[in-house]
Structure 1
Amino acid sequence: MATPRKARPERAPENQRALETESFYQPLDRHRLVIVCVKGNVSVRETLRTIIQNALGPRDTPPLLVLGPTAPEDIADGQAHRIGWVTFVDGTSLAHQIPEVEIISPDNLLEVNLFIEKASQGENHPIVGDFLDNVIRSIGSPESFYTFFCQLASRVKLKKRTAILVIKEDIHDRAMVETVKRFADVVLEFRDQDDEAGLKVEMRTLNFADNIYTSWRPFNDWQRPISVSA
């Protein structure tokens, strides 16, 4: 049985703002496995765009995109190394108009693993995508998913890669979501909230690697990278 995480320590109030600022603005690719959970009307597509454009540190190598519900043409703009599209298609549409795209069935976990293994060799490309949504929905067995994700997380950490994976938390069983979070170094959570001014986005950080935890807080307009559009 996995050992549960220790309860997070209390933080002195005067240190809280500094810790929150640090966790929001440091590049995500200094960590190995980052899980980004979105709820409600927060857009997965815009979250992915924000990660690619703003959340990765300076680098010469573009990310390896492994997408799921999000289509390659919605994200790819010439900044991707290779693109895996983990989705169901009919037998007549296995090729994609973007040459770098390889289509993989989400219920073929071996092929998903092989694509990530082959495509991430050589340069240290960060892995970014939302393919877990399709994989989780396609696998009927929690045990099979646990084995798959344990292997993926272990490979990322042993090879000192970075994987930033986005999931739509409220479409999955809680147990599956907790499995994904269990292996993360950092979990970023986004949710939408209604107030008198309209819809707003809130975020909190669970940084297990650096022992930094934040409360839910709204983004200011100049801070907010996440669109609530579809």
Structure 2
Amino acid sequence: MQVDFKIIRQTQNTAPLLQTYRLDVQKGNTILECLNRIKWEQDGTLAFRKNCRNTICGSCGIRINGRSALACKENVGNELGKQQLPDDSKIPEITIAPLGNMPVIKDLVVEMSSFWDNLEAVDPYVSTAARKIPEREFLQSPEERSLLAQAGNCIMCGACYSECNAKEVNQDFVGPHALAKAQRLVVDSRDNTTENRLEKYNEAIKGVWGCTRCMMCNAVCPMGVAPMDQIGKIKQHILE
């Protein structure tokens, strides 16, 4: 089947331009496979990120038909299935754009400095500063480890950050990705700075109270992390 891929292209100093590429594809082809073919067969100047091709690294985050997703996870059939397709005489379309809430470097490649800076702002590492470090390792029970599982699935793809309405209007908000990581540390039995963390995450609209509960982060997360739910758990810890 033929599909028109409408890709928003731009550089840092130019206005966005919609460019169309037509491909013969199978419904099972991933969007990343289609982008590769466009680059290899039609336009070598097209820029996008990729790496693992297997929903592990998070590199290929983009917006597909207005929704942030991983290009290696979504396929043509699923994307067309979400649309009300035109009659058989018209070629179906898939629109591809860069992630939101971050400036574009070129085409589908965005500058992610703010994403990483906001992650760093929540101190995303286990702190053992006041503890005696064990000779070999910290031990956790299966129950303690299970508390980390959902938030630990985050691959830092930027999909939640891209769709975050709170971040769009409030640049001080650290973002759902950072607070999902923060919740993981709040409940980590190896960390000994829980009270300090909760005080920090309680900071006005920069921390958990900056979340508008729009649920977009939950809707687009490809790994089921449910960042808004993690933010809610931190709020509960604060209120307790």
Task: Give the TM-score taking structure 2 as reference length.
Answer: 0.18
Q: Between Structure 1 and Structure 2, which shows a larger proportion of strand residues? A: 1
- The structure with the largest alpha-carbon Rg is 2
Q: Which has the higher contact order (CA 8 A, sep 6+)?
A: 1
Task: Give the TM-score taking structure 1 as reference length.
Answer: 0.19
